[in-house]
Amino acid sequence: MRKKIFKGTFILLACLICSVIDSSFLHAEEVQVSPSKTWKVSFQTSIDQNSINQDSVYILNDQSQKIDSLHLELDETGKTLAIENTEDYPASKHYSLHITKDIESEDGVAAEEEVVLPFEVTVTNSTAKTRTFTPESKLFVYDSSLDSNSIIGILYKGHTYTILDESTDYYFIQYGNGRGKIEKTEIPETKEISLTPLQQAATYTNKMMVTTKRANVYTAPNGDSDVMASISYNMRYPVTSHQGQWYEVHVGNQTGYIKQDAVADDPGIPILLYHHIMDEPIEDGYGNNKMIVRTDAFQSQATYISEENYETITLRQIEDYLYHKQNLPRKVVAITFDDGIVSTMTKAYPALENYGLKATQFNIAGRTFDDLSSAGFGTIGFQEMNEMDDVYNYQSHSYSAHYRLSEDHTPALVDMNYSEVLNDTIKSREKISQGLNEEDYKDVRYYAYPYGQYDEEVLQAFPKTGITLAVTTRPGYVHMGDDPLLLNRQYVYPSHTMKEFAQKLEATY
């Protein structure tokens, strides 16, 4: 059984043994791994080493290779757990750390809880050269997307920041959950410095806050210290510790502090789930079908998303966010459609296209052909999919696993064995990718479980299929630290009022 994911705050660091996690691992193109590494997991509250089952601690890479020759050591505070590997790490880009703890359930019965931490690493083995800069006047920090001019913060003069990377026009720094960029023309001088492996170690956390106003970043946890930077309003920002009325944050590899009254807890990111859009479901005999949303209701919802200035994001952005490679503002939403029904073209597409909104379709590959199919409610084909790729991107909803067994109504995917799951999923990725204009095979790497159901065998097989993120029908929102293969979504039903729809966007429903 899949145990719940740890939602507490922790920091992933590397110890100075032979090598450590590079501070630029979050945007590395290649992964270099070497033996004798130690990760430190720092918890906000003390834990008892006796509550941790040492034999059950392991690390998985994205090929499901398990690393279980691990040594655990808890420090005297009970807040820092060192996990040392005694064998070579198999080369990989994505890893997840799994720790099983003994807990007492609400009814007093002993139980186990699994802590899961997804992360991504590149390892460096020696002192590195980098550059720093000290602003002579305030500098605007822009979102790191090359085509983005959104200001996400300000750096103030007299404080030194570390450069992670550069392009023709910009320097990139560590900022928030990813990187920010600064115009090179605004920085007249940089200084080369050497960093030890320990200095290169990055500090990241699963504890996210949202700025409720422009948040000044102070050099010390008191209002009399210098303001080194400010974080824009409506930004999701990671905090690494909480000291009284102050949160510790990091900007440009420098430690700073923001006041508690400038932020609120991050309620999570909504992924909306739709199936079918219809003008008059009652008159057409589908009045009791909660999967069908009226066309005028969907139009109103699209209008609301636009007028309330929500940004529609892709699953790629959510994946990057979960791996600490993407900054996201508070008002974002992902829109998804399951099954590839024709109404996504005739009813949903016009509304989405009118407002410049983006969405993801999960298509059943075995029912997707060159053009429209009339079976059932009808499904779109590759011709229509390519014509709508300004709004939609297309992902997998299985190849032939979207049905229930006649005997007991078990979903076919759950009934499949390991090899069948592998074959069906890989086949679905191949067919969808081959039918699209987009040539990059890896673009089809997200999945919606048929009927929202899965089992442990499915979860074990998925990393070998190339699927890196999957969504369920379990209600809820996406939080930092969630298992990328078990993301929550929010159904939109015909019974939902506009007030309830707004609450879903606000992640308060």
**CA pair distance 426, 445, nearest whole angstrom:** 10
Q: Is residue 4 part of a domain?
A: no
Computed on alpha carbons and rounded to an integer, the radius of gyration of the chain in Å comes to: 24
Helix (H) / strand (E) element for 485: namely: none
CATH of the domain at 350: 3.20.20.370
Q: Is residue 390 part of a domain?
A: yes
Closest CA to 164 of 286, 253, 278, 71: 253
State yes or no: pLDDT of 157 exceeds 50: yes
Which pLDDT belongs to residue 401? 96
Average pLDDT over residues 112-129: 60
Among 266, 298, 317, the domain-final residue is 266
- Do 324 and 397 lie in a common domain? yes
Residue 129, both tokens: 């050269």
Q: Are 59 and 72 in contact (CB under 8 A)?
A: no
Within 8 A by CB and 6+ apart from 400, the residues are 364, 365, 366, 412, 424
- Do 259 and 357 lie in a common domain? no
Closest CA to 99 of 71, 60, 57, 44: 57
Lowest pLDDT segment from 151-165, 187-201, 288-302, 354-368: 187-201
State yes or no: pLDDT of 53 exceeds 90: no
- Output the CA torsion 141→145→149→153 (10° steps): -20
Domain span at 494: 271-506
State yes or no: pLDDT of 16 exceeds 90: no
Average pLDDT over residues 441-468: 90
Which pLDDT belongs to residue 47? 61
Q: Is residue 103 part of a domain?
A: yes
Which pLDDT belongs to residue 206? 83
Which pLDDT belongs to residue 284? 65
Which pLDDT belongs to residue 330? 96
Q: Are 258 and 249 in contact (CB under 8 A)?
A: yes
Among 266, 297, 328, the domain-final residue is 266
- Do 488 and 354 lie in a common domain? yes
Share of residues in the chain with pLDDT > 90 (%): 60
Q: Are 251 and 139 in contact (CB under 8 A)?
A: no
Lowest pLDDT segment from 7-16, 47-56, 447-456: 7-16
Q: Is residue 3 part of a domain?
A: no
**CA pair distance 139, 333, nearest whole angstrom:** 30
Helix (H) / strand (E) element for 302: namely: helix 295-307
**CA pair distance 123, 450, nearest whole angstrom:** 38
- Do 459 and 378 lie in a common domain? yes
Which pLDDT belongs to residue 21? 30
Q: How far is CA 344 from CA 41, 94, 337, in A?
A: 44, 33, 8
Mean pLDDT computed over every residue of the chain:
82
CATH of the domain at 66: 2.60.40
- Do 261 and 278 lie in a common domain? no
Quickly list H helices, 19-150. Answer: none
- Do 46 and 96 lie in a common domain? yes
Q: Is residue 70 part of a domain?
A: yes
**Torsions phi, psi of 392, nearest 5?**
-100, 150
Helix (H) / strand (E) element for 255: namely: strand 254-259
- Do 320 and 424 lie in a common domain? yes
Q: How many domains does the chain have?
A: 3
Q: Is residue 196 part of a domain?
A: yes
Closest CA to 169 of 146, 136, 137: 146
Average pLDDT over residues 474-492: 96
- Do 279 and 416 lie in a common domain? yes
The pTM is what? 0.77
Q: Are 500 and 477 in contact (CB under 8 A)?
A: no
**CA pair distance 380, 371, nearest whole angstrom:** 6
Which pLDDT belongs to residue 350? 98
Average pLDDT over residues 213-227: 96
Q: Are 240 and 205 in contact (CB under 8 A)?
A: yes
Number of H helices, E strands in the chain: 10, 36
Within 8 A by CB and 6+ apart from 480, the residues are 177, 205, 206, 207, 208, 238, 266, 321, 322
- Do 29 and 132 lie in a common domain? no
State yes or no: pLDDT of 494 exceeds 90: yes
Q: Beta partners for 165?
A: 172
**CA pair distance 26, 202, nearest whole angstrom:** 9
Among 266, 294, 326, the domain-final residue is 266
Helix (H) / strand (E) element for 251: namely: strand 246-251
- Do 236 and 329 lie in a common domain? no
Which pLDDT belongs to residue 145? 74
Q: How confident is the model at residue 280 (pLDDT cuts 50, 70, 90)?
A: confident
**CA pair distance 349, 357, nearest whole angstrom:** 9
- Do 459 and 425 lie in a common domain? yes
**CA pair distance 254, 219, nearest whole angstrom:** 9
- Do 335 and 380 lie in a common domain? yes
